[in-house]
Amino acid sequence: MRRGMPLPDGNHGEHLALRRASSSTERLGCIEVVCGSMFSGKTEELLRRVKRARLARHRVVLFKPRIDNRYDDVKVVSHEGIKAEATAIASAAEIFSFVNLESAPEVVGIDEAQFFDDAVVDAAETLANAGVRVICAGLDQDYRGKPFGPMPALMSVAEYVTKLQAVCSRCGAAACRSQRLVGMEGQLFVGGAADYEPRCRRCFVAGVVDVAGAPPSRA
């Protein structure tokens, strides 16, 4: 680190310049990514940041993909049951049907960002360039342990990246993977607590296991 340079933020990847809103042209936008395995607390972290922004009287608009209707069509709900109103959209481009860049809100949150296509990266950049603080939460890896959809690209253009870990259901170590427990193929299978469990690198088995946890057939 060069002398005189500011130290890295001690804020764990969160943009905390919660000054009262100025006009969007004066605001410096940014992209924050909150990612990790299932049960790592991504949605809780998104909603915590949203709550703090609202305490600072920032306007917040939350979006989620329409594909994800696990709990509620119009709310972002964490596994812990914390919730906030959200708009379900079929594509990232739809964000601009709800957000006018001329009078943009201070904060735009996007939950389950992994389910959008790469257009969500351009949308996040457009919003951030217009002075919006964009907070994207999503799975960084799919059930095979592979990068999930637009998340790698979002992480690369983001100013702040927070990687959260769950607790491995087998050994108690920090878990970075989502083990799928049912025999469904495809990234877009949206499951809940009964369909996945968090596992560490060592306990994770790439592929699908049956509900009883029998040895999977390695692909």
> Which residue in the list 94, 106, 112, 197 is annotated as catalytic?
112
CA torsion angle 82 85 91 97 (round to 10): -160
How near is the Cβ of 195 to Zn ion at its closest, in Å? 18
Instruction: Please confirm, yes or no, whether 45 is among the known catalytic residues.
Output: no
How near is the Cβ of 37 to Zn ion at its closest, in Å? 12
Per-residue H/E/C for 80-118: CCCEEECEEECCHHHHHHHCCHHHCCCEEEECCHHHCCC
Quick check: 84 and 75 in contact, CB under 8 A?
yes
| Closer Cβ to Zn ion, 70 or 202, answer by number | 202
Spell out the residues 6+ positions from residue 73 whose beta carbon is closer than 8 angstroms to its own.
88
Number of other CB atoms surrounding residue 190 within 10 Å = 14
| Closer Cβ to Zn ion, 46 or 176, answer by number | 176
| Closer Cβ to Zn ion, 28 or 171, answer by number | 171
| Closer Cβ to Zn ion, 33 or 168, answer by number | 168
Q: Which residues form the interface with Zn ion (CB under 5 A)?
A: 168, 170-171, 173, 200, 203
Quick check: 12 and 134 in contact, CB under 8 A?
no
Please identify every residue annotated as catalytic: 112
